[in-house]
Structure 1
Amino acid sequence: MLSVQQLRVNGRRNDLLPPTSFEVRPGELLLAAGDRQDQRTALALAVSGRMRPSSGTAGWDGSTRVAALRRVSSLVDSPGVNEPEQHLSVRDLVTEDLALVPRRHHGALRGTAWLKMNDFEDLAGLWAEQLPARRRIQLLTALALANPATDLLVLDSPDRHGGDPDDWLPQLDALARDAGRPLAVVAAVTRIPDSWTGPAAVIGNAENLLPETEDAK
């Protein structure tokens, strides 16, 4: 389980991430809403173990060690951090991402073979900037899960690629609930879709978890 308690990151003048608290269990998708991209990115980095908090904690299964959190988490599509370069081919993107997975988990697979095995062969000839929003989320989350050590998926602003929540929300919910591999999934978003009734939080509101309330919409 991911437990985030009063997590805070200092900025140059104001908090880059104001104190925020929530919990996410395997099998759950939590949406964390924030108007500012820098705050959403700071949250994504901190809860995936890519940034040390100034105060508060983000822990996994009782451990608050940043290294332990980083080992079980994958950060997906974070602007300015690890989002695909627009002029990178999908084939090269896949090859580069697979190179980051411990070799024992993917063998000698190259990008073309992986795309075919995972039903993304139709994307092989595209540039990253040409990926439709829905297929982009499918591809990038599949790449993150190529590492079997991943138990926590953290997505940074998946709603920035279009205004239709159906392009990303059902996919993330299904990934979390997969009986064969239940995941804890956190998505930092601009706003909570009206259709969402699951776990939610507001960046900067450490006291309010907002599940299934009008305030979460």
Structure 2
Amino acid sequence: MLSVQQLHVKGRRDYLLPPTSLQAARGELLLVSGKRQDQRTALALTLSGRMKPTAGSIDWDGGTRIKRLRQDSAVVDAPGVNEPEPHLSVRDLVTEDLALIPRRYRGALLSTPWLKVNRFEDIAGRWAEELPADRRLELLTALALANPHTDLLVADSPDRHSGDPADWLPRLEELAYDAGRPLAVVAVVGSVPPDWTGPITEIGNAAPAPESADALNPETEDAR
């Protein structure tokens, strides 16, 4: 289980990530909403151990070591971080991503047989930027899971490629509820689909409540 308490990252003037608490169990898809793309990406990177928080705690399967969190997690399609370069073909993208898998897990993984086994041959010659939203997510999550050590999947703003939840939600549900490989799956989204009945939370849910008007104006009490 992933358990996060009061996690936040300070920026120059404002919170890059406002204080946020959440829990995501294996075999579960958690949707976390946030209006700002920079905050969504900051949360995705922090949850996966790629960004150091200013304060707060992250517990993954009973441990707090960031190194283990990084090894066990994958962040998917973070803008400006690991989203596919537009000039790459799917075949080249697969080659690059497979090369990042630790050698002890990689074995003889090559792009051509991997594309065939995972049923992406039909898009192998296409540019990454022209993929439909659903196929894009299928490809990127499959690449993330090519590392057998990945147990936590964090998808950064999958809804930015399509306003239709059918283009991204079913794939993430499929991965979360796969009994053969129980993953903890977190999707950080711009908005939660209206018919979603699973667990949800929002960025900044642990931020302190703003001070009341009376607290901000000490003369109020004397005027009563």
TM-score by length of 2: 0.90
Distance 1:59 1:146 in 2: 24
Structure 2: how far apart are the matches of 1:65 and 1:110?
32
Matches within 5 A, 1:2-151: 2-151=2-151
- Paired with 2:42 and 2:139, the residues of 1 have a C-alpha distance of 23
Q: Structure 2 CA distance, aligned partners of 1:154 and 1:88?
A: 23
Q: Deviations over 1:152-183 (max 9, x none)?
A: 00010000001000001011011001000010
Q: Distance in 2 between matches of 1:182 and 1:103?
A: 23
Q: Decide whether the 8 Å contact of 1:22 with 1:206 is kept in 2.
A: no
Following the alignment from structure 2 to structure 1, what is the Cα–Cα distance between the partners of residues 62 and 54? 19
- Which deviates further from its counterpart, 152-161 or 56-65? 56-65
1:130 CA displacement: 1.1
Secondary structure of 1:31's counterpart equals: strand
User: For residue 92 of structure 1, what is the amino acid of its counterpart?
Assistant: D
Aligned partner of 1:167 in structure 2 is 167
> 2:4 and 2:104 mapped to 1: Cα distance?
32
Separation in 2 of the partners of 1:64 and 1:92? 35
1:12-66 residue CA offsets vs partner (Å, 9 max, x unmatched): 1011000000100100000000000000000000000001100101220121221
Unmatched 5+ stretches in structure 2: 208-224
* Aligned residues between the structures: 207
Q: Percent identity, aligned pairs only? A: 70
The alpha carbon displacement at 1:106 in A equals 3.1
CA deviation vs aligned residue, 1:163-210 (integer Å, no higher than 9, x gap) = 000001011011001000010000110001011110111100128xxx
Q: Distance in 2 between matches of 1:4 and 1:197?
A: 22
AA partner of residue 44 (structure 2): A
Question: In angstroms, what is the RMSD of aligned CA positions?
Answer: 0.9
Following superposition, the deviation at residue 80 of structure 1 comes to: 0.2
Q: Secondary structure at the match of 1:143?
A: helix
Match of 2:199 in 1: 199
CA distance in 1, matches of 2:108, 2:69: 27
TM-score (normalised: structure 1): 0.93
2:103 and 2:112 map into 1 onto residues whose CA distance is 17
Alpha-carbon distance in structure 2 between the residues aligned to 1:155 and 1:131: 17
Deviates more, 1:53-62 or 1:72-81: 53-62
The question of whether the paired residues in 2 share the 8 Å contact of 1:95 and 1:110 is answered with: yes
